[in-house]
Each structure stands twice: as structure tokens, then as C-alpha cells.
Amino acid sequence: VNSISVCGCIKDLVIAEYRAVFHMNQPWDELTMTADGKYIGIFRSHQHLQSKFTVPKGTWYHACITWSASSRSHRYYVNGQLLGSQQTASGRLLTTGGALTLGNWNGGSSWRFGGEMAYLNVYAKELSAS
């Protein structure tokens, strides 16, 4: 896969660290988003963005992580605003065949998401802020 975007509406009801909204584990931390912004990333290259946004418990927000091989970067948006971006290695592609786990870290139970998700969409292209 040479591009992807995962976007959705999130309402966090539990204030604690490491609440995985989704996690794709193939071969290792291919795509990750936590509700607190602590781990946002692709290819085990995580951005720590929790200092860039705070969402009050029980408030809906829209989050989106995007990536493409041609741009060589992944970006994280909250409510349409770019909060962070990071370069990825040239020639790296997203591995297929893994499991996309919603509401938890793949294979674990300590990173459970405690809230609601709606309109979660996976796109085979890199979306922009517009």
C-alpha cells in the first residue's frame, strides 16, 4: 500500500494515557493513533503530540492520520488543523495482511479506548486538510 488515511470522530470518556483508538500491527506498529495524542504514527515512528491539543472529556473531535510514499511523510490533523508531520523513509510501503484493531492496542488489553467512535473511515489515498 503506497498511501492511506484513517479519519473519524472521537469522544474520549476516560482520561488516562495510552488509549488506542486504532492500531495496525503488521509487522510492528505499522499505524497507531491514541486518544491522548501520545502515540500518533506510522512505521513505529511516533509523534508525541499530546502537548499540542487537549480535548475535554466527553467532547467530540475529528482526528485524521494520513501518509503516502510519494510525500514521504505522515500528518496528523485534529478538527481540520495540522498538528504535526514527520518524514518517513524513502521507498517504504505499508505492509498488508495485518490486523487493524479498533479500540485497543493489537494483542493487548491495557491500552483500551474508553469512549465513542463514529464515522471511522479508511481511505487508500492521502487526504489533505481541505
Pairwise pLDDT comparison (101 vs 119), residue with the higher score: 119
pLDDT tens-digit map of 50-70: 556 777 788 898 988 888 888
Q: What is the mean pLDDT of residues 27-36?
A: 70
Question: Around Cβ 55, how many Cβ atoms within 10 Å?
Answer: 18
Q: Within the chain, what is the greatest distance between any pair of CA atoms?
A: 40
d(Cα 29, Cα 127) in Å, to the nearest integer?
Answer: 21
Nearest to 104 by CA among 40, 20, 8, 35: 20
Residue identified by cell 485524521 is: 64
pTM of the model: 0.81
Strand order in the sheet with 60-68: 81-87, 73-78, 60-68, 3-12, 115-123
pLDDT tens-digit map of 79-101: 998 888 888 778 777 777 777 77
Q: Which pLDDT score is estimated for 119?
A: 94
